[in-house]
Amino acid sequence: MPELDFFDVNVSLGRVRIPKFHVVTDASQMKAELAPFGVTGGLVRHTVSSEGYPSVGNSRLAEELDGVTRFEPVWAVLPHWTGEFPTGEELEGVLSSAGVRAAALYPSQHGFPLRGEIIGPLLDVLEARQMILMLPHAEVPLEAAARIAKSHPRMPIVVLEVGYTAARELYAVFAMCTNVHIEISSYMAHRGIEDIVNKFGAERLLFGSRFPAYNPGSAVAAVTYARISDTDKKAIAAGNVRRLLSEVKK
């Protein structure tokens, strides 16, 4: 069994409105708690960005991750129409100068539709840099994720927290959209990882734990004990997301 190095694409930092599980507000504590599970890096979202004000949360995330190596910020982004976010070359410059290589949309939480005329200019900028776009499944159904993927085929999309009950729709989306991926924190179908790897390849799966709401152990075990090759395990654990990050244009 190989020793796996995990890069977690589904990590949150900050207080939540209704705390139900473990909450982590300090980035150093986050890194220390993930380390025993073999998680040595990750993409981090801030709860202030997802539940409140993206610009405030994005700034706070940059401050809190400063000096915390191997963990990168995921910015919550908005359409430019209200003036809260820039657009075009200005937005591209802001993202580049901040070193942001992944972004997330929360259309329900932040109150905007996923119509092309509304979010198209934003997505065009993300696609131009080949940034990773994260879409929480609770906010963006697979059908909508597929529409975005088809209209922006050079932009890798990661759907977060997809459950095994969505498998029938998910497989159709995988077949139609080669740029769609999922992280595995909620996809706990019996031999579900193996079936996706056999049908679509390991490159469609990224390691995610949903820390701190979930204990990372279940996702780590799902990859470690999956009946797939060691090469595929390493790809899911960290290789796939590192490849996608390396392809983001500066």
- Determine, yes or no, domain membership for 1: no
CA angle (117 as vertex; 61, 133 as ends), nearest 5: 35
How high is the pLDDT of residue 105?
98
Mean pLDDT by 10-residue block, N- to C-terminus, for the chain (250 residues)? 91 85 92 97 97 94 96 98 94 96 97 97 98 98 98 98 97 98 96 98 98 96 98 98 96
How high is the pLDDT of residue 198?
98
- Determine, yes or no, domain membership for 100: yes
Quote the domain boundaries for residue 46. Answer: 6-246
- Determine, yes or no, domain membership for 97: yes
Q: How many domains does the chain have?
A: 1
How high is the pLDDT of residue 21?
74
Q: In a 10 Å sphere around its CB, with 0-12 CB exposed, 13-18 middle and 19+ buried, how is residue 43 labelled?
A: buried
The CATH number covering residue 155 comes to 3.20.20.140
- Determine, yes or no, domain membership for 214: yes
pTM of the model: 0.96
- Determine, yes or no, domain membership for 141: yes
How high is the pLDDT of residue 2?
74
- Determine, yes or no, domain membership for 196: yes
User: Strand order in 180-183's β-sheet?
Assistant: 6-13, 39-46, 71-76, 102-104, 132-136, 157-160, 180-183, 205-206
